[in-house]
Structure 1
């Protein structure tokens, strides 16, 4: 049967470009997840408390979030190929720096650079595909590329656990180097340097306010229990973040060339979707960091076994994909998000019932169910948020949503790390498992409360 004109098979001349973008997508997806199972081993080598190592994750995710608004403008101004090549170089050299680090501060510096490179890889690669590949073949190209995005998180935790057992944690970063070199070699052959003839001035003032807002809120929460900074320092950072948020809101309303105009939020569905995305992802995005830490530090599991136990979460997410559309069509966005938000919150809190003696089959089933529910949550929220945006706001709205998703991950991980430290001080070190359980209950409750946001979705919202 021939492909319809609206969905054609990808032609050979575009396959190399899709491979190139897939390499970047794979590197970013792998690097986001491979660190989680290696954190306790990294802490031992760097003479740090593993409960204070969440900054390794936060530094990367926060720098990705901060640079997302910059990616599209840079590609339009200087060319997609030049920016993509620069991103791979930055990411690869930063990976080398991470692999050579001997202190936490040095590692954090290179993780920030890595995040800057990672922030440019996927958006610029996707933009190049959109501009070069005919629209009829774009769906096929995106489907092929998405496989790379699934493989990275699937193998990341297990590969990270295996590497720290057979070699050292440094190799979780050094394995990026061959992929980066391959990407550099392909870039100039596969990707044309497409630019835009007219590019508006970049909103540097708005960008600065957004960076202050994201950094202040994330680092303020992260340093709340830090012994090297006073409580007033954390409160000051959080206040600076809140002030920057309010200032940007005014800026986006009055500035004609603002990165994200306030008029987008007149769309009630988009506003509710963004708000729901932020709060509903705090718990879900913290789990890939928190669960491996609990399994190793509190339960005494080996890194490789911990990585293997993370696979059911990804398999659950994959298994849910064919079910999401029929479920939403049958019950509608409002009902699905109301019920599923409560289920995700209850599932997160229910991890507090697990212990080192929990049977493997039950733990595996638990992770699989969480993966299914979390995937349904994320896909439903994303499609609801973007579905009614007018065409002229689609690009800006999608970029803002992507930034919110990464900020939520950054704050979620920072919050999880802070809560574990607070509860470990309360319960004492010998009751570390209780500290993790209390943290899981708190994160689950945040998710359950988020259902109040989705309650505001109009009952007649079309699918």
Structure 2
């Protein structure tokens, strides 16, 4: 049976819990955005080529992909409070090890430890929120969680540039420490300890099959097009990864307690939000990779100035979190997702008009609308995921949804990279006359892919998600 702490409706912990989860998400987002600006300086400090540090970035993603699926089982087995605190500790240890790393292999291992912590923080935090609040409150709670977390991408690029300019790149990793201390203190006082006293044993074979299959497939996508491996080797690795994932699918259907509960796909709202969100993120996920190339190579902006162009995007995302509730309450999830997905795809395609000589006053509103549409899209999809999921299955749904989101974002970057390399065709990647047209073709392809994902949401019913958005409800959620 599921053990749930009894908290009064106005218990102080229910007020603090969303901000506690926001601290965890803030650390993850800040670390991800601030590190990208530091790669050239880190490579010079360590005496290696910048491209050789790509594994430092991808190791974190691979660690997330492997360990997110096990986070739900750990929360059920050991309790959300203990696992959430352990996640913060692991993330902090990884950060400290990154700060004292003296070579790339040590950085890779440290980033893997960070990924283990990050893989548990957000899924377990989401489980605690879903089990603590009624579905009608999830939009309001999601707003409180996301707004502070969006500050990370808002200040990350510019803060990273300032730290690199005035201090050592190692300070970047030490920024996590005070937030981790605050998070641990808040978790000890306000994190509820949900657990399932009848949690089954860990699906060890499923963990091996799925984890190794996803890790191998992610690695293939990361190195594809770099010519570091022969086509035969890449093809063999792809076949092995797909074979492992197929074996997991068969094993999970026979297991009474699989690592990832694929039976949740029988729930229409969960299935459509996860599948539709996966395809949407394939297009949107490539933008953080494409835009820096466009701004720095195509327009000739220095890294710090290119980072400043992301501020309108983050500001718009914060603003949308405030008005997404009334929008969903007024129109419902189905029409919002259908229309907004098309608008988001169109926004991506408009970046084909940005090139040398483009006024910054055109880029700023384009970046703002991208943040606006992206924020509404992710809020709508993330709240719909749990609309019809029982509390008992919250941990399983969180693990499955988080895994899908992480992998689609990673695959989006890989697809964007492959598209750009394909359209460049082996020519000089530092030449704006070559790179800008290739990027424009990539924007067009990614935008069309995003718009096509809107067809997924046509299968939703008009009433789907009404228990979350309060669409057609006589009472609206409190502000």
TM-score (norm 1): 0.84
Structure-1 separation of matches of 2:296 and 2:170:
19
Deviates more, 1:115-124 or 1:415-424: 415-424
Q: Deviations over 1:275-294 (max 9, x none)?
A: 11111001212323432343
Structure-2 separation of matches of 1:219 and 1:240:
12
**Partner residue, 1:282:** 282
Whether the aligned pair in 2 keeps the contact of 1:41 and 1:164 (CA below 8 Å) is: yes
Structure-1 separation of matches of 2:17 and 2:270:
32
Q: Deviations over 1:153-179 (max 9, x none)?
A: 322222123222333433322322333
* CA spacing shift, 1:276–1:48, aligned 2, 3 Å: farther
Q: Deviations over 1:332-385 (max 9, x none)?
A: 544333332222222212223212432222211000001111112222223344
Structure-2 separation of matches of 1:54 and 1:458:
43
**Partner residue, 1:63:** 63
**Partner residue, 1:236:** 236
Q: Deviations over 1:87-136 (max 9, x none)?
A: 223212211232344554443332222111111223334556777x7879
* CA spacing shift, 1:446–1:232, aligned 2, 3 Å: farther
**Partner residue, 1:436:** 439
Whether the aligned pair in 2 keeps the contact of 1:313 and 1:370 (CA below 8 Å) is: yes
* CA spacing shift, 1:147–1:330, aligned 2, 3 Å: closer
**Partner residue, 1:365:** 365
Report deviation, 1:405. Answer: 0.6
Q: Deviations over 1:39-88 (max 9, x none)?
A: 45445556777678655443323322322222232234344444334322
**Partner residue, 2:389:** 389
* CA spacing shift, 1:384–1:81, aligned 2, 3 Å: closer
**Partner residue, 2:471:** none
Report deviation, 1:22. Answer: 4.2
Which runs of 5 or more structure 1 residues have no equivalent in the other structure?
A: 1-5
**Partner residue, 2:457:** 454
Secondary structure of residue in 1 paired with 2:358: coil
Structure-1 separation of matches of 2:255 and 2:160:
45
**Partner residue, 2:154:** 154
**Partner residue, 1:3:** none
* CA spacing shift, 1:275–1:48, aligned 2, 3 Å: farther
* CA spacing shift, 1:342–1:15, aligned 2, 3 Å: closer
Secondary structure of residue in 2 paired with 1:335: helix
Structure-2 separation of matches of 1:317 and 1:242:
36
Q: Deviations over 1:226-256 (max 9, x none)?
A: 2322222322333233223322222222211
Whether the aligned pair in 2 keeps the contact of 1:77 and 1:199 (CA below 8 Å) is: yes
Secondary structure of residue in 1 paired with 2:224: helix
**Partner residue, 2:352:** 352
* CA spacing shift, 1:377–1:351, aligned 2, 3 Å: same
Deviates more, 1:298-307 or 1:359-368: 298-307
* CA spacing shift, 1:244–1:107, aligned 2, 3 Å: same
Whether the aligned pair in 2 keeps the contact of 1:38 and 1:303 (CA below 8 Å) is: no
Whether the aligned pair in 1 keeps the contact of 2:72 and 2:398 (CA below 8 Å) is: no
Whether the aligned pair in 1 keeps the contact of 2:91 and 2:118 (CA below 8 Å) is: yes
**Partner residue, 2:175:** 175
Structure-2 separation of matches of 1:265 and 1:307:
39
* CA spacing shift, 1:30–1:39, aligned 2, 3 Å: same
**Partner residue, 1:418:** 418
Structure-1 separation of matches of 2:189 and 2:388:
38
**Partner residue, 1:91:** 91
**Partner residue, 1:273:** 273
**Partner residue, 1:166:** 166
After superposition, the CA RMSD in angstroms is 3.5
**Partner residue, 2:470:** none
Structure-2 separation of matches of 1:134 and 1:276:
25
Which runs of 5 or more structure 2 residues have no equivalent in the other structure?
A: 1-6, 467-479
Number of aligned residue pairs = 456
Structure-1 separation of matches of 2:337 and 2:163:
38
Deviates more, 1:258-267 or 1:191-200: 191-200
* CA spacing shift, 1:440–1:142, aligned 2, 3 Å: closer
Deviates more, 1:383-392 or 1:231-240: 383-392
**Partner residue, 1:302:** 302
**Partner residue, 1:197:** 197
* CA spacing shift, 1:178–1:321, aligned 2, 3 Å: closer
Structure-2 separation of matches of 1:134 and 1:446:
35
Structure-1 separation of matches of 2:159 and 2:249:
42
Structure-1 separation of matches of 2:392 and 2:306:
45
**Partner residue, 1:111:** 111
**Partner residue, 1:342:** 342
Deviates more, 1:229-238 or 1:362-371: 229-238
* CA spacing shift, 1:384–1:191, aligned 2, 3 Å: closer
- Please show how residues 306-317 of structure 1 align to structure 2 within 5 Å: 306-317=306-317
Secondary structure of residue in 2 paired with 1:301: coil
Report deviation, 1:9. Answer: 5.3
